[in-house]
Amino acid sequence: MTLNDTLQETFTALSANKVRSGLTVLGIVIGIGSVIAMVSVGQGAASGIQSSIQSLGSNLLQVTPGAARTAGGFGVSGGRGTSSTLKQDDANAIASQVQYVAGVASEVSSRQQITAKGTNTNTSVIGVTSAYPEIRNVSIDQGSFISDDQNNSLAKVAVLGPTAAGDLFGTDDTTADGLPNGIVGQTIRIKGMEFKVIGITAAKGSSGFSNQDDTVYIPAKSAQRFLTGNDSVSSIDIQASSADTMATVQDDVTNLLLALHGISDPTKADFSVLNQNDLLSAVSNVSQTLTILLASIAGISLIVGGIGIMNMMLTTVTERTREIGLRKAIGAKKADISRQFLIEATVLTLIGGTLGVVLGGGVALAINALGLITTSISVSSVVLAFGVSAAIGILFGWYPARRAASLNPIEALRYE
Amino acid sequence: MIEVTDITKTYGNGDTTFQALKGVSFTIEDGEFVAIMGPSGSGKSTMMHILGCLDIPTTGTYFLDGKDVSTMDDEQLADIRKDKVGFVFQAFNLLPRTTVLRNVVLPLVYAGVGIDEREKRAKHALVSAGLTESHFLHKSNELSGGQIQRVAIARALVNEPTLILADEPTGNLDTKTGEVVLGTFQKLNEEHGRTIVLITHEPDVAEHAKRIITLRDGTIVSDTTSHTRRRAHHI
């Protein structure tokens, strides 16, 4: 019996009881669909969080004054203004003495009321050096970033984040990518002092609790002189040369700063070194757990769907006992009968699997379109779901098929 | 050619055995039309199962076309059924919701015959069994009882079997339709030389055959060749 003939028999048999076949398929559709939708939600959440952490800069370590207080929120609990133990000298020492350091940028942050042309906003003002954009993945959209010369000469210049620029100068006149136009060259006032706008950064989006676009950058030394009034820095960003060297750099920086600050007991350090990788792995652990949880709930419905298939196939075998007897009488072998029932079960699950992929993908896209959560449909989850559905068809179809094949033709023909 | 020698069949084991056949021997030549008759419990159903290669005897030998089928296993028996035996049953003959043509093609599907060839042979068999082209694409449940039985006969013919085995083929039909079906068998036997074995408990039906083997309590009580057999009106 050729495959083509078997498929024709299968089609006839399945279409003979459309409602039952349909309901059985529905079980698989829901199972596969929910696996794909759930996994896409989990993976979408994971990749969203990871990309926003990555947007802070790659291979990044951050030294902040004071002991770390709460977990999470990398850019937030940076000991802002609470301690003034970090100095520019620390940053210089790290840059010159620690191996595998690709770049060092110190930040002097504070929160200020800023005015411009009658509008005003309260936002974070970060004093930075020219190394900052490279390390923190900041790119310039218009104008230029702060130079070393401007830093050393305590120039009163500012680079605006797009959100801050929009807040201060309105969004009526915009460029092609939606940024306010004609801002470079204008002036803003911080603490009553005029700063000339020399550039606007490209949009990065928010990460965690902070909007990285709602920021004003000024030279670090200007910030120390005019805004904070002391020579401390609020954090030091260190870029390691590669992901592999991050742990080494973290240890070396910790030891160097302990020595510089004259502290012998590491538990009493007046600073902390945060490692982006730690954060990433913590987040991906959480999201992985979430994905597994969602997938296993969905997997249960897949198994229930499989049992539905087995139930239907067993009913079918009982119902068609005389047909099986007849087929055997006219020359069907055991293998012909068992293959026929196995293929019926497999076709059911494959139809269910295909529809389930469509349904799950559709749900994931709909969730995305509604803006609830960013979802990402991975090829692996589709392949997995499809493979599992085929396996379920074979697994749960095997027993009924075997029962059908092993029927005695005489008894099967007499079956009432 | 069918050669049955000293066949017994015992069901059950231990104390509760029942011997359905107690040493039956006969020979059926190619082209014969034989009725195996007997009341219920005579062993004729068991005989039918053994002749049809659905079952094997406990002792004794059964040669079908020179092949000893009495010691074959299930798979070998399935092969023999496919090539050498055509069945017509009392009831539930056809696959429901399936066209007449597909029903007749089915044995050839299992035999692995190509699509064009099997359609040709199925149509030929249907015409031989007295059906016309207009019936071919009807679903089996749209036919009358007599038509169903003739489709079943066509299906039994289609693989050119050594033996057509009919188990109470008129049992579910009224007398007139039964006559038509029996006439079909007579025509196939006389005009096409088909070997037909008819299993029945009704003497009226058995009388349509040329030879009647009567079973009672598992043994042959008579084996007569009739010269005045009943004629069914031909179709």
- Extract the tokens encoding B23: 């040493």
Q: What are phi and psi of B138, to 5 degrees?
A: -70, 150
Residues of chain A in contact with residue B55, where contact means CB-CB under 8 angstroms, are 410
Q: What is the per-residue pLDDT across A246-281, written as a single tens digit (0 to 9) for each?
A: 888 988 998 998 888 888 887 777 888 888 877 777
ipTM of the complex: 0.88
Number of domains in chain B: 1
Looking at the complex, report in whole angstroms how far the Cα of residue B82 sits from the nearest Cα belonging to chain A: 4
- Residue B229, pLDDT > 80, answer no
CB A235 within 8 A of CB A226: no
- Residue A78, pLDDT > 70, answer no
What pLDDT was estimated at residue A206?
58
Looking at the complex, report in whole angstroms how far the Cα of residue A327 sits from the nearest Cα belonging to chain B: 8
Residues of chain B in contact with residue A16, where contact means CB-CB under 8 angstroms, are 96-97
- Extract the tokens encoding A239: 């870029």
What pLDDT was estimated at residue A173?
60
Does B22 lie at the interface with A, CB-CB under 8 angstroms?
A: no
- Extract the tokens encoding B210: 């040329």
Question: How far apart are alpha carbons A85 and B122 in whole angstroms?
Answer: 98
- Extract the tokens encoding A231: 């020579």
In a domain, B42, yes or no: yes
Type of residue found at A402 = R
* Residue ranges covered by each domain of chain A: 3-52+282-414, 103-237
Q: Do A331 and B52 touch (CB under 8 A)?
A: no
Looking at the complex, report in whole angstroms how far the Cα of residue A335 sits from the nearest Cα belonging to chain B: 9
Q: How far is CA B151 from CA B129, B193, B205, in A?
A: 7, 19, 20
Residues of chain A in contact with residue B52, where contact means CB-CB under 8 angstroms, are 329
Does A413 lie at the interface with B, CB-CB under 8 angstroms?
A: yes
pLDDT winner (highest mean) among A62-71, A210-219, B68-77? B68-77
Domain CATH code at residue B42: 3.40.50.300
Contacts of residue A391, Cβ cutoff 8 Å, sequence gap at least 6: none
Q: How far is CA A402 from CA A17, A398, B63, B82, B111, in A?
A: 21, 6, 31, 21, 21
Q: Give me the residue from B49, B102, B106 closest to A330, CB to CB.
A: B106
CB A306 within 8 A of CB A350: no
- Determine the residue among B40, B109, B139 to mutate to test chain A binding: the one whose Cβ has the most chain A Cβ atoms within 10 Å: B109
Name which of A83-87, A110-114, B118-122 the model is least confident about: A83-87
- Residue B28, pLDDT > 90, answer yes
Looking at the complex, report in whole angstroms how far the Cα of residue A22 sits from the nearest Cα belonging to chain B: 18
What is the DSSP secondary structure assignment for residue A232, as one 8-state letter?
B
- Residue A81, pLDDT > 70, answer no
Q: What is the per-residue pLDDT across A287-322, written as a single tens digit (0 to 9) for each?
A: 788 888 888 888 888 888 888 888 888 888 888 888
Does B112 lie at the interface with A, CB-CB under 8 angstroms?
A: yes
Residues of chain B in contact with residue A327, where contact means CB-CB under 8 angstroms, are 106, 110
For range A144-163, the mean pLDDT: 90
In a domain, B144, yes or no: yes
Question: How far apart are alpha carbons A216 and A158 in whole angstroms?
Answer: 7
User: What's chain B's average pLDDT?
Assistant: 88
- Residue A74, pLDDT > 80, answer no
In a domain, B80, yes or no: no
Q: How far is CA B160 from CA A318, A330, B79, B84, B156, in A?
A: 32, 12, 14, 7, 8
Residue of B nearest to A328 (CA): B78
Q: What is the per-residue pLDDT across A280-292, written as a single tens digit (0 to 9) for each?
A: 777 778 878 888 8
Residue of B nearest to A16 (CA): B97
Torsion of CA B86, B89, B95, B97, to 10 degrees: 130
CB A159 within 8 A of CB A184: no
Angle at alpha carbon of residue A298, lines to A295 and A301, rounded to 5°: 150
Q: Give me the residue from A2, A323, A333 closest to B78, CB to CB.
A: A333
Looking at the complex, report in whole angstroms how far the Cα of residue B109 sits from the nearest Cα belonging to chain A: 6
Residues of chain A in contact with residue B93, where contact means CB-CB under 8 angstroms, are 326
- Extract the tokens encoding A128: 């930075």
What pLDDT was estimated at residue A172?
62
Does A70 lie at the interface with B, CB-CB under 8 angstroms?
A: no
Does B107 lie at the interface with A, CB-CB under 8 angstroms?
A: yes
In a domain, B233, yes or no: no
**B233 vs B126, more confident:** B126
DSSP state letters, A171-227: SSSB-TTSPBSS-TT-EEEETTEEEEEEEEEPP--EETTEETTSEEEEEHHHIIIII
- Residue A76, pLDDT > 50, answer no
Q: Is B94 helix (H, G, I), strand (E, B) or coil?
A: coil
- Residue B59, pLDDT > 90, answer yes
In a domain, B198, yes or no: yes
In a domain, B123, yes or no: yes
How many CB contacts within 8 angstroms connect chain A with chain B? Answer: 61
CB A401 within 8 A of CB A342: yes
In a domain, B66, yes or no: no
Q: Do B54 and A334 touch (CB under 8 A)?
A: no
Does B52 lie at the interface with A, CB-CB under 8 angstroms?
A: yes
For range A210-215, the mean pLDDT: 80
Q: How many CB atoms lie within 10 A of CB A285?
A: 11
Looking from the CA of A86 toward its CB, the CA atoms found within 13 Å total 32
Q: What is the per-residue pLDDT across B135-192, written as a single tens digit (0 to 9) for each?
A: 888 888 888 888 888 899 899 989 888 899 999 888 888 888 888 889 989 988 988 8
| pTM as predicted | 0.68
Looking at the complex, report in whole angstroms how far the Cα of residue A345 sits from the nearest Cα belonging to chain B: 20
For range A135-149, the mean pLDDT: 87
Q: For chain A, how big is the Rg over CA atoms in Å?
A: 33
Residue of B nearest to A408 (CA): B54
Residues of chain A in contact with residue B79, where contact means CB-CB under 8 angstroms, are 331, 333
Domain span at B105: 27-46+85-225
- Determine the residue among B45, B72, B92 to mutate to test chain A binding: the one whose Cβ has the most chain A Cβ atoms within 10 Å: B92
- Expressed in angstroms, the distance from the first to the final Cα of chain B is 28
- Determine the residue among B77, B106, B119, B168 to mutate to test chain A binding: the one whose Cβ has the most chain A Cβ atoms within 10 Å: B106
What pLDDT was estimated at residue A68?
43
For range A37-61, the mean pLDDT: 80
Q: Is B112 helix (H, G, I), strand (E, B) or coil?
A: coil
Q: Do B95 and A326 touch (CB under 8 A)?
A: yes
Q: Give me the residue from A2, A331, A413 closest to B81, CB to CB.
A: A331
What is the DSSP secondary structure assignment for residue B99, as one 8-state letter?
B
What pLDDT was estimated at residue A177?
59
Q: What is the per-residue pLDDT across A118-140, written as a single tens digit (0 to 9) for each?
A: 788 889 999 998 888 888 888 88
CB B166 within 8 A of CB B201: no
User: What's chain A's average pLDDT?
Assistant: 83
**A15 vs A284, more confident:** A15
Contacts of residue A185, Cβ cutoff 8 Å, sequence gap at least 6: A196, A197
Looking at the complex, report in whole angstroms how far the Cα of residue B37 sits from the nearest Cα belonging to chain A: 20
- Residue B205, pLDDT > 70, answer yes
Residues of chain B in contact with residue A14, where contact means CB-CB under 8 angstroms, are none
- Residue A210, pLDDT > 70, answer no
